[in-house]
Amino acid sequence: MQNILWGGATSASQYEGWGTRKGLDTQDVRPYLPRTSVATTATRLLTRDNVLSALTPDSDSNYPFRRGAQGIEHTDEDLDLLEELGLQIYRLSISWSRLFPTGTEETPDLEGIAYYDHIFRRLNRAGIKIFVTMNHYALPVELVLSQGGWTNRKTILHYLRFARTVLEHWGDLVDYWLPFNEINAGYFSPFNGLGVLRKEDGSYDYNQIFRALHHQFVASAKTIQLGRQLGIKGQFGSMIACFCYYPLTPKPEDNLKLVLDEQINQWFCMDVLSKGYYPYYMKRFFAQHQVDLAETTEDLELLAAYTCDFVSFSYYSSSIVTTEESGQQQAGNLVATHKNPYLKASDWGWQIDPTGLQTTLHKVYDRYNKPVIISENGFGAHDQLTADGKIHDDYRIDYFAKHFAAIKQAAAEGVDLRAYMAWGIIDIVSAGSCEMDKRYGVIYVDADNVGNGSYARYKKDSFHWYRNFLQQNR
């Protein structure tokens, strides 16, 4: 059985905060809005006017990604804590607009280069393996306003200049490369994933979304091509958000709907990036929705030639598919689902299902037959800091213990699993709802939804539990 690396993950926009020098990106213009429904969309799906008004915010506006977890101010302290924890692999992302503030500069900002250089060298010295997400949602906002984000083919060129910078600077330090976080998120969350704006009437243009995704597929293949040309040692992967669908009933129509929904929502992007071609079912979907990708022969050749070395996914909870109109709505990552009577849920309604993770591992490995990495998993919860500086998060320990057991079981059953990364290992701003209150970390950050607090770090009970687990699982 392959040895699994156990680790933790953050993303630049959720962790770093602005620090000193950085261009505005698509996360920086998302306000915190108190939640009103199971599916938080108001701060995820932005119009052009929303973005423009965020460029000159009024004094009441609250843009949490500009603070993040004040990672820039706490970098060394956090790296000390990760080392003390005994992390075996750390996943982090590079802020595109910290290196290229508008996305179109010819050369990178040297202060930004120095910042990541410091982190990578420290991780290397500590013997912690590095998993780099080149782009975790945040896109320089200028690229959205001036050229339509990923709908524009030119964005591939700008991305490639960024990717080349990253590969040339840190190619010898990084173990795993991921061109895009949760690439299928672009379909549900077009602003976060693709820099595609919602129309004033609230709708989206499918043509724009799927062209933008196509451009990301090409950018991903070109990044792998570049990595091979530069002789980069690390492996290149792709990543999707996985939802582990169950039919609400054994009704044949529910099961058929499951298969069809799963194709579009979950597998499509990974099928392209891992197999190297558009699957048959997308041809039907594109015809039904009058989507014209405007793909070139060269695009299709690149996709076929530069497929990913490993497949990775995020998994938080499972989902239900039904043909009934009336199922009870339930929240989930990126998309709302239905209530599963056999499962309990988090305070945010995400249903807790370790067996769903075991199932997902089998499905992913069976479908792609490539090494698998769980690039995100964890439990978002309200935590309470006690007067003596403790956080008793037994619910998170319980979530980890059950999910880790399911992971080990899947590995024992033959899944070639290389690494697991606990999401938001340090508390960070939530990507879905822009809250600080939704905490995943084993390290607590003293800050609230509107930026009050000292941003001091505290070890939760789960820190000690995970540290012990990491020592026993080397």
Please identify the residue of the shown chain whose CB is closest to the bound ligand BG6. Answer: 432
**Least Å distance between CB 32 and ligand BG6?**
12
Q: Residue 438 or residue 457: which is nearer to ligand BG6 going by CB?
A: 438
Q: Residue 245: beta bridge partners?
A: 319
Task: For residue 465, give the 3-state DSSP assignment.
Answer: helix
The H or E element containing residue 38 is none
* C-beta of residue 139 within 8 angstroms of C-beta of residue 149: yes
Type of residue found at 293: L
Q: Residue 51 or residue 431: which is nearer to ligand BG6 going by CB?
A: 431
Catalytic residue among 16, 142, 262, 376: 376
**Least Å distance between CB 35 and ligand BG6?**
11
Across 111-193, the runs of DSSP E, i.e. the strands, are 129-135, 176-180
CA distance 358 to 244: 10
Task: For residue 419, give the 3-state DSSP assignment.
Answer: strand
Residue 182 a catalytic site member: yes
Task: For residue 178, give the 3-state DSSP assignment.
Answer: strand
Task: For residue 352, give the 3-state DSSP assignment.
Answer: coil
| Residue where the block lists tokens 């602003």 | 191
**Least Å distance between CB 182 and ligand BG6?**
5
- The distance between the two most distant Cα atoms of the chain, rounded to a whole number of Å, is 64
Measured at the alpha carbon of residue 64, what is the angle toward residues 148 and 466, in degrees to the nearest 5?
Answer: 110
Q: Residue 242 or residue 291: which is nearer to ligand BG6 going by CB?
A: 242
Cβ atoms < 10 Å from Cβ of 230: 12
Q: Residue 302 or residue 425: which is nearer to ligand BG6 going by CB?
A: 425
**Least Å distance between CB 65 and ligand BG6?**
11
**Least Å distance between CB 117 and ligand BG6?**
24
**Least Å distance between CB 375 and ligand BG6?**
8
**Least Å distance between CB 344 and ligand BG6?**
17
* C-beta of residue 195 within 8 angstroms of C-beta of residue 150: yes
Q: Residue 10 or residue 152: which is nearer to ligand BG6 going by CB?
A: 10
Q: Residue 232 or residue 436: which is nearer to ligand BG6 going by CB?
A: 436
Which is it for the CA torsion 468, 390, 405, 315, positive or negative?
Answer: negative
Residue of 24, 279, 3 whose CA lies nearest to 139: 24
* Residues 463-473: b if buried by 16+ CB within 10 A, e if exposed: bebbbebbeee
Phi-psi region of 358 (alpha: psi -120 to 50; beta: other; left: phi over 0): alpha
**Least Å distance between CB 10 and ligand BG6?**
9
| φ/ψ (deg, to 5) at 264 | -75, -50
Q: Residue 28 or residue 299: which is nearer to ligand BG6 going by CB?
A: 28
**Least Å distance between CB 354 and ligand BG6?**
17
Tell me which residues touch ligand BG6 (CB under 6 A). Answer: 11, 181-182, 241, 314, 333-334, 376, 380, 423, 430-433, 438
* C-beta of residue 349 within 8 angstroms of C-beta of residue 432: no
* C-beta of residue 110 within 8 angstroms of C-beta of residue 162: no
First to last CA, the chain: 13
Catalytic residue among 16, 182, 262, 435: 182
Across 158-309, the runs of DSSP E, i.e. the strands, are 176-180, 235-242, 245-247
Q: Is 461 exposed, middle or buried (0-12, 13-18, 19+ CB in 10 A)?
A: middle
CA distance 13 to 25: 9
Q: Residue 131: beta bridge partners?
A: 91, 176
DSSP for residue 426: B
Q: Residue 97 or residue 430: which is nearer to ligand BG6 going by CB?
A: 430
Q: Residue 97 or residue 181: which is nearer to ligand BG6 going by CB?
A: 181
Active site residues: 182, 376
